[in-house]
């Protein structure tokens, strides 16, 4: 199999920690985002996505510090999102060195912001993020990191995003998130059929065959992976957890040992 | 010269990220649109992400087009990256037809005219020969691209490397008269990109020509 697809670690950040849960809930703190970033940069990541999942005004400063720090040390593209509400928020994140930004809640609340971002910063700077939950064979869109259900129809929304000038979307399958049960291949297939948009998809990666199943039936431009990579990375980076903020019980009790360890290198070897 | 390299600021693109990479290869940089600072630099770099028309409008408003041409007359090094490289050509068909800086002969066209799709991600570059230092760093190396348009030089001789997207070959590096343009982002191409920037840094610091 030879397909051009970016392998993208997604780093969810809460305050000063990388966090990860299941179905976007029950978040566990995993460590310092810079440590994870350096490891991915040195180990063949094509790109990195940073998602500020709390994005309160106070936390925003720590995100901008992280973005500046990443810019100074990591020379691959990275995208930043989570709680970006308006053009000014976006301008600040870009000024700190983000290459691209993604928006979800702001775009659903005010779809015009898509056109505005495209006009002000260029189409390639924007990714529209969509949080999708599949329940009884129906897709529902969510905002606020899976906290709020929205009445917008998924496939109409994808078409509208394209009409408004965006070029790439980021699909997060909430029902697959953290489960390691495989990607939502049906969804990826449907998006490939109905839209010319490039799309990054994530949620559910557990083993390499999941990527093969996905690429056999659809053409995503990128695949994002969180827990499967993070739990391997923890072994490789400093485990000195100095800060006491966050739920580190999970790591301290060595519960990650039961997870299969997968690296970006393994994934690339199998698909290129 | 006060600075090694001036990053031309026309309010588009990730200037901070680019500056970080250039500082990483030990260049003394300045982000500026001021004539004195630009003329007081050994080399300039045209960055850029966004649309050709808007970029040229910003450049003209700040009279940067005249300054860049004046800089070029002195045969000093000019580097273009992505949109910055495209701006160095005569014209672009992006949105409405727009005139560029005309430092290179040729035009900028959609890579795939049928669907104007976005080429995003890492692709290999190919050089016809690998005779010089810079070609060795580019040939068969993967770099990071994000663009829908690509340059079509009038004279193929200025094409230093090509890459492919959707089975279409396009020009990924051009070089002529002490100017070099990259369609990819060397500052975002990991170790492969940093090696290219290191070479450019050495040439700028030693007052050597690009080739």
Confidence of residue B125 (pLDDT cuts 50, 70, 90): very high
Q: Is the separation of the CB atoms in B94 and B149 below 8 Å?
A: yes
Q: Across the interface, do B49 and A125 touch by the CB < 8 Å criterion?
A: yes
Q: Over 70: is that where the pLDDT of A2 sits?
A: no
Can you name the residues that pair with A222 across neighbouring β-strands?
Answer: A6, A200
Outline where DSSP puts E strands in B62-209: 77-81, 91-92, 98-99, 106-110, 119-124, 142-147, 149-153, 159-165, 168-176, 179-182
Lowest mean pLDDT among A16-20, A68-72, A113-117: A16-20
The confidence score (pLDDT) of residue A58 equals: 60
The confidence score (pLDDT) of residue A57 equals: 56
Q: Over 80: is that where the pLDDT of A6 sits?
A: yes
Instruction: Provide the token pair at B208.
Output: 């050597």
Confidence of residue A222 (pLDDT cuts 50, 70, 90): very high
Mutate to test the interface with B, among A3, A7, A77 (most CBs of B within 10 A): A77
Q: Which residues contact A196 (CB under 8 A, 6 or more apart)?
A: A162, B115, B117
For the residues B94-114, what does the mean pLDDT come to? 89
Q: Which of A6, A72, A96 sits opposite B121 (nearest CB)?
A: A6
A271 contact B CB<8A = no
Q: Across the interface, do A46 and B122 touch by the CB < 8 Å criterion?
A: yes
| A210-234 b/e (C-beta count within 10 Å ≥ 16 → b) | bbeebbeebbbbbbbbbbbbbbbbb
pLDDT in tens, B79-103: 999 999 999 999 998 877 789 999 9
Contact residues, chain B to chain A, C-beta under 8 Å: 12, 14, 16-17, 20-21, 24, 49-51, 115, 117-118, 120-123, 144, 146-148, 185, 187-191, 193-194
- Least Cα distance to B149 among B187, B77, B78, B97 occurs for B97
Our measurement of the distance from residue A56's CA atom to the centroid of its chain's CA atoms, rounded to an integer in Å, reads: 19
Confidence of residue A243 (pLDDT cuts 50, 70, 90): low
Alpha helix positions (H), A175-220: 185-194, 208-217
Instruction: Provide the token pair at B40.
Output: 């007081």
A117 to chain B: closest CA residue: B50
- Tell me whether strands B168-176 and B159-165 are parallel, antiparallel or unpaired: antiparallel
Q: Which of A75, A122, A124 sits opposite B190 (nearest CB)?
A: A75
Size of interface A-B (CB pairs under 8 A): 75
Q: How far apart are the first and last CA of chain B?
A: 21
pLDDT in tens, B26-56: 999 999 999 999 999 999 999 988 889 889 9
Counting every residue written for chain B, the total comes to 211
Q: Across the interface, do B185 and A4 touch by the CB < 8 Å criterion?
A: no
Provide, rounded to the nearest whole percent, the portion of chain A with pLDDT above 90. 67
Provide, rounded to the nearest whole percent, the portion of chain B with pLDDT above 70. 99
Confidence of residue A257 (pLDDT cuts 50, 70, 90): low
Q: Is the separation of the CB atoms in A174 and A146 below 8 Å?
A: yes
Report the C-alpha gap between B182 and B197 in whole angstroms.
11
B149 to chain A: closest CA residue: A124
- Tell me whether strands B106-110 and A222-225 are parallel, antiparallel or unpaired: unpaired
For the residues A251-257, what does the mean pLDDT come to? 61
Q: Whole-model pTM above 0.95?
A: no
Lowest mean pLDDT among A233-237, A244-248, B21-25: A244-248
Q: Which of A76, A95, A124 sits opposite B16 (nearest CB)?
A: A95
Confidence of residue B139 (pLDDT cuts 50, 70, 90): very high
Domains identified in chain B and CATH numbers: 3-205 (3.40.50.880)
For the residues A3-18, what does the mean pLDDT come to? 91
Q: Over 60: is that where the pLDDT of B204 sits?
A: yes
DSSP 3-state assignment of B202?
helix
Q: Across the interface, do B49 and A124 touch by the CB < 8 Å criterion?
A: yes
The confidence score (pLDDT) of residue B113 equals: 78
Edge-to-edge strands of the sheet including B168-176? B29-32, B3-8, B41-46, B77-81, B179-182, B168-176, B159-165
Q: Which of B20, B146, B189 sits opposite A71 (nearest CB)?
A: B20
Q: Over 70: is that where the pLDDT of A244 sits?
A: no
Q: Which residues contact B179 (CB under 8 A, 6 or more apart)?
A: B72, B77, B78, B79, B80, B88, B103, B104, B210
The confidence score (pLDDT) of residue A250 equals: 63
Q: The complex's ipTM?
A: 0.94
The confidence score (pLDDT) of residue B210 equals: 84
**CATH T-level assignment (fold) for domain A6-271:** TIM Barrel (3.20.20)
Taking contacts as CB-CB distances below 8 angstroms, the residues of chain A near B123 are 4
A77 contact B CB<8A = yes
Q: Across the interface, do A76 and B144 touch by the CB < 8 Å criterion?
A: yes
Report the C-alpha gap between A88 and B23 in whole angstroms.
27
For the residues A38-56, what does the mean pLDDT come to? 92
Q: Over 60: is that where the pLDDT of A20 sits?
A: yes
Lowest mean pLDDT among A121-125, A237-241, B124-128: A237-241
Q: Which of B124, B142, B185, B208 is catalytic?
A: B185
Q: Across the interface, do B14 and A97 touch by the CB < 8 Å criterion?
A: yes
> Annotated catalytic, B187?
yes
Report the C-alpha gap between A169 and A217 in whole angstroms.
18
pLDDT in tens, A98-131: 999 999 999 999 999 999 999 889 899 999 999 9
Taking contacts as CB-CB distances below 8 angstroms, the residues of chain A near B189 are 75-76
pLDDT in tens, B155-194: 999 999 999 998 999 999 999 989 999 999 999 999 999 9
The confidence score (pLDDT) of residue A54 equals: 83
Taking contacts as CB-CB distances below 8 angstroms, the residues of chain A near B14 are 94, 97-99
CA distance A189 to chain B (A): 19
Q: Across the interface, do A96 and B122 touch by the CB < 8 Å criterion?
A: no
Residue position matching structure tokens 């739920």: A247
Q: Which of A75, A122, A221 sits opposite B121 (nearest CB)?
A: A221
CA distance A121 to chain B (A): 6
Q: How high does pLDDT run on average in chain A?
A: 89
Residue position matching structure tokens 């005569």: B90
Outline where DSSP puts E strands in chain A: 6-14, 17-22, 25-31, 48-52, 78-81, 100-103, 126-135, 138-143, 148-150, 168-173, 198-202, 222-225
The confidence score (pLDDT) of residue B36 equals: 97
Provide, rounded to the nearest whole percent, the portion of chain B with pLDDT above 90. 82
Q: Is the separation of the CB atoms in A229 and A15 below 8 Å?
A: no
Report the C-alpha gap between A80 and A100 in whole angstroms.
6
A167 contact B CB<8A = yes
Q: Which residues contact A178 (CB under 8 A, 6 or more apart)?
A: A20, A21, A22, A23, A24, A226, A227
CA distance A241 to chain B (A): 28
């Amino acid at each position: 199999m030879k397909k051009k697809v970016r392998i993208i670690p997604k780093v969810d950040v809460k305050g000063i920690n990388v966090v990860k849960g299941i179905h976007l809930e029950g978040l566990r703190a995993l460590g310092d985002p810079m440590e994870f970033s350096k490891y991915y940069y040195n180990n063949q990541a094509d790109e990195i996505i940073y998602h500020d999942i709390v994005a309160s005004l106070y936390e925003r400063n720590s995100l901008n510090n992280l973005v500046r720090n990443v810019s100074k040390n990591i020379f691959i593209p990275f995208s930043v999102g989570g709680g970006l509400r308006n053009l000014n928020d976006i301008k600040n994140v870009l000024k700190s060195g983000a290459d691209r930004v993604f928006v979800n809640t702001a775009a659903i609340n005010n779809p015009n912001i898509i056109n505005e971002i495209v006009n002000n910063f260029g189409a390639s700077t924007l990714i529209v993020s969509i949080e999708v939950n599949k329940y009884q064979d129906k897709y529902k869109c969510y905002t606020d990191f899976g906290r709020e259900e929205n009445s917008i129809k998924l496939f109409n929304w994808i078409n509208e995003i394209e009409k408004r000038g965006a070029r790439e979307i980021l699909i997060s399958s909430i029902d697959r998130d953290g489960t390691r049960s495989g990607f939502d291949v049906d969804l990826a297939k449907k998006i490939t059929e109905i839209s010319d948009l490039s799309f990054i998809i994530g949620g559910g990666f557990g083993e390499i065959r999941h990527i093969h199943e996905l690429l056999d039936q659809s053409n995503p431009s990128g695949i994002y992976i969180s827990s499967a990579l993070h739990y391997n990375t923890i072994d490789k980076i400093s485990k000195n957890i100095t800060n006491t903020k966050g739920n580190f019980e999970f790591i301290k009790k060595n519960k990650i040992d039961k997870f299969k360890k997968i690296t970006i290198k393994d994934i690339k070897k199998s698909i290129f | 010269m006060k600075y090694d390299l001036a990053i031309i600021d026309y309010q588009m693109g990730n200037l901070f990220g680019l500056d970080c990479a250039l500082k990483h290869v030990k260049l003394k940089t300045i982000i500026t649109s001021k004539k004195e600072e630009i003329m007081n630099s050994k080399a300039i770099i045209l960055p850029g992400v966004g649309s050709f028309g808007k970029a040229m409008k910003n450049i003209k408003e700040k009279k940067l087009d005249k300054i860049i041409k004046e800089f070029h007359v002195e045969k000093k090094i000019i580097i273009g990256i992505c949109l910055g490289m495209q701006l160095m050509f005569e014209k672009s068909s992006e949105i409405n037809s727009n005139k560029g800086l005309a430092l290179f002969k040729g035009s900028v066209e959609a890579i795939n005219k049928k669907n104007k799709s976005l080429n995003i991600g890492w692709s290999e570059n190919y050089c016809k020969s690998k005779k010089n230092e810079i070609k060795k760093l580019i040939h068969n190396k993967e770099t990071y691209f994000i663009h829908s348009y690509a340059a079509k030089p009038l004279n193929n001789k200025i094409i230093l490397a090509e890459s492919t997207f959707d089975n279409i070959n396009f020009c990924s590096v051009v070089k002529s008269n002490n100017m070099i343009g990259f369609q990819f982002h060397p500052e975002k191409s990991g170790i492969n990109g940093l090696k290219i920037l290191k070479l450019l840094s050495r040439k700028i610091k030693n007052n050597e020509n690009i080739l």
